[in-house]
Structure 1
Amino acid sequence: MADILKRDERIPEHLAGRRLDQTAAEMFPEFSRERLKSWIQQGELTLNGRSARPKDKVFGGERLSLDTRLEEETRWEAQDIPLAIVYEDDDVLVVDKPAGLVVHPAAGNPDGTLLNALLHHEPKLAAIPRAGIVHRLDKETTGLMMVAKTLAAQTALVEQLQARTVSREYDAIVVGAMTAGGTVDAPIGRHPKDRQRQAVTASGKPAVTHYRVKERFRAHTHVRCRLETGRTHQIRVHLAHVRYPLVGDPVYGGRLKLPAGAGDELKTLLREFPRQALHAHKLRFDHPASGAPVECQAPLPDDMFLLLDALREDTEAER
């Protein structure tokens, strides 16, 4: 039997001027844009209690109300893909995502994703939007992701993300020897010329990344990043913006830079590092049912561990 889904929220003032379907996607990120548009067209997602068109502009302050039956998603296939589960109970699970695993099916990746793996692990997730996924990691970024196992848990976790009460910390290895940590407070949006990239742009959404030095090497730094917001490619864009791009980042990293006098092992590791050196190592949130704090950690993956070891050896050799 399909679950009844009811949501009623006031549109924030900062969304004034946006289309209704864009506003709905911002306020209800757990649902696909296609599904939200369909609900608007069917009159199940209303503006101040009245039907509206997806393209209608909002002014801020209106009530956005959703009243629908949540039918099971049948277009995604359950697939037996190994999952590294860090935490699980009746309401939520936390997985340690490996590099190379896409989170959600899309053009170019119709299956073989984390979502397909989740459906195999827990078939009842087919009744939850996006199989309970509430946030994402890039394909080549490793680390922790939380997944809701009930509709109520998903709503609670999304609300925590929107309220910025979820703590997410990342390990990153960047090009350049940082002298100190800091904060990047710079809006992120689509790149004005390359639609496949993100960029710091005045018309973007607010984005804040805090970073601190964990270990400094001759020409690289191991940094610990904490997100206040969760924009697409946020850490990658922000660190490149302050001229410390991630090692191995094919989009924002620029040309390969090898430290002068580096040994063959380090040069090979840097040349062949297969992805952006970014790992979501710590996740903290309030349990969606009990309210108790939940904190999970995931160790560094082997590729980053080996690179850090080689950077240490290179730095020691120069002393």
Structure 2
Amino acid sequence: MTEPTAEIIEREAQLTREEHGMRMDQAAAVLFSEFSRERLKQWIGEGALTLDGKTVKPKVKVLVGQWLRLKATLQAEGEWVAQDIPLDVVYEDDSVLVINKPAGLVVHPAAGNPDGTLLNALLHHYPAQENIPRAGIVHRLDKETTGLMVVARTLEAHHSLINQLKDKSVTREYDAVVVGVMTAGGTVDAPLGRHPKDRKRQAVVSNGKPAVTHFRVVERFSGHTHIRCQLETGRTHQIRVHMSHEGWPLVGDPVYGGRLRFPPGASETLRDALKDFGRQALHARRLRFEHPVTGEEVMCHAPLPDDMAQLLDCLREE
């Protein structure tokens, strides 16, 4: 692994009548919109972002004709360890990566998972990611959920992708296998928050954050349904909680799936397949977003992982 080289960012812009009278940090957010407001305020405080060559406070009012000049060295965002963990890279350029995450890989270090995560893998394969918040990770998948994730490789791309997620312009589509035979697709519009009695779980609660999941039927079986879900929001465990709440828990879900159920007359082969499926049957199959630099649409697909494909084959045979 090579050591990352420090990246130096340099920008300058002259203030116009449109920015006249704004606060320094507000004007910087307009003229250097590729960076987050928090990062710009940090640079103003450090003296890396100046007004006519002088260090000023973020609230100072700016005047037409003055110059904002930025010269900042990106600093490592955390004390994480780089680890040689294989990555399945679906798309890559200088601004973004799209990763096909396997089951069992935690996305970010946390209590109980201090290393061995996607973040640690990114730092090994792309050392400069240490200069990006959370090594460029802008959204998550549960440990046992497979599929596509987009990762920012620059601060500009990070800011753009965060905003796209906020304004719901990123399209995320999932494959799932649920217990029960659906007659049709639909939409679940139900707020999600912490479970009132189990803080490790999420639940549909009246005071939760808005959450919307669209779903449609792909294939029906004797006691299960293969569905596709599209997210409008990205709440923790959203698909798992929404589908369970509607009476269609995901196959193998250890938290929201309830007791193991078999369709009437299920063969031993199917019974074994359902018993042995050791994770929620959920896969992020399609990801679409606007490229942070070119503005062009980026569309990526990831085929079903082997375990879900084999489960569907077994259900078809019944």
Matched, 1:103 2:107: yes
Matched, 1:234 2:241: no
Q: Which amino acid aligns with 2:218?
A: K
Hey, what does 2:145 align to over in structure 1?
141
Q: 1:8 to 1:273 in 2, by over 3 A?
A: farther
Matched, 1:77 2:81: yes
CA separation in 2, counterparts of 1:7 and 1:88? 33
Matched, 1:225 2:229: yes
Hey, what does 1:151 align to over in structure 2?
155
Secondary structure (helix, strand or coil) at the match of 1:303 reads helix
Hey, what does 2:212 align to over in structure 1?
208
Match of 2:125 among 100, 112, 121: 121
Matched, 1:301 2:286: no
Aligned length: 266
Hey, what does 2:68 align to over in structure 1?
none
Match of 2:273 among 258, 269, 273: 269
CA-based RMSD: 2.5
Displaced runs of 4 or more, over 4 A: 1-9
Contact 1:213 1:223 in 2 (8 A): yes
Matched, 1:184 2:182: no
Deviation at 1:74, TM superposition (A): 4.5
Deviation at 1:272, TM superposition (A): 1.1
Matched, 1:311 2:315: yes
Secondary structure (helix, strand or coil) at the match of 2:247 reads coil
Deviation at 1:69, TM superposition (A): 7.5
Q: Which amino acid aligns with 2:126?
A: E
Contact 1:3 1:71 in 2 (8 A): no
Hey, what does 1:259 align to over in structure 2?
263
CA separation in 2, counterparts of 1:87 and 1:254? 37
Instruction: Specify every segment of 5 or more residues in structure 2 that has no aligned partner in the other structure, as ranges.
Output: 1-5, 11-23, 28-35, 48-57, 60-71
CA separation in 2, counterparts of 1:136 and 1:74? 18
Secondary structure (helix, strand or coil) at the match of 1:107 reads coil
Hey, what does 1:247 align to over in structure 2?
251
CA separation in 2, counterparts of 1:121 and 1:8? 36
Q: Which amino acid aligns with 1:240?
A: S
Q: Which amino acid aligns with 2:236?
A: T
CA separation in 1, counterparts of 2:163 and 2:114? 28
CA separation in 1, counterparts of 2:287 and 2:111? 29
Hey, what does 2:294 align to over in structure 1?
290
Deviation at 1:7, TM superposition (A): 7.5
CA separation in 2, counterparts of 1:190 and 1:177? 29
Question: How does the TM-score come out when normalised to structure 1?
Answer: 0.79
Q: 1:263 to 1:7 in 2, by over 3 A?
A: farther
CA separation in 1, counterparts of 2:236 and 2:73? 30
Structure with greater Cα Rg: 2
Identical residues among aligned pairs (%):
66
Hey, what does 2:164 align to over in structure 1?
160
Q: Which amino acid aligns with 1:201?
A: V
Q: Which amino acid aligns with 2:152?
A: A
CA separation in 2, counterparts of 1:191 and 1:91? 38
Deviation at 1:75, TM superposition (A): 1.0
Listed one character per residue, the Cα deviations across residues 105-156 of structure 1 (whole Å, up to 9, x for unaligned) are 0011000000000011110000000000000000000000000000000000
CA separation in 1, counterparts of 2:105 and 2:157? 24
Secondary structure (helix, strand or coil) at the match of 1:147 reads strand
Deviation at 1:71, TM superposition (A): 2.6
Hey, what does 1:57 align to over in structure 2?
none
Matched, 1:172 2:205: no
Q: Which amino acid aligns with 2:144?
A: E
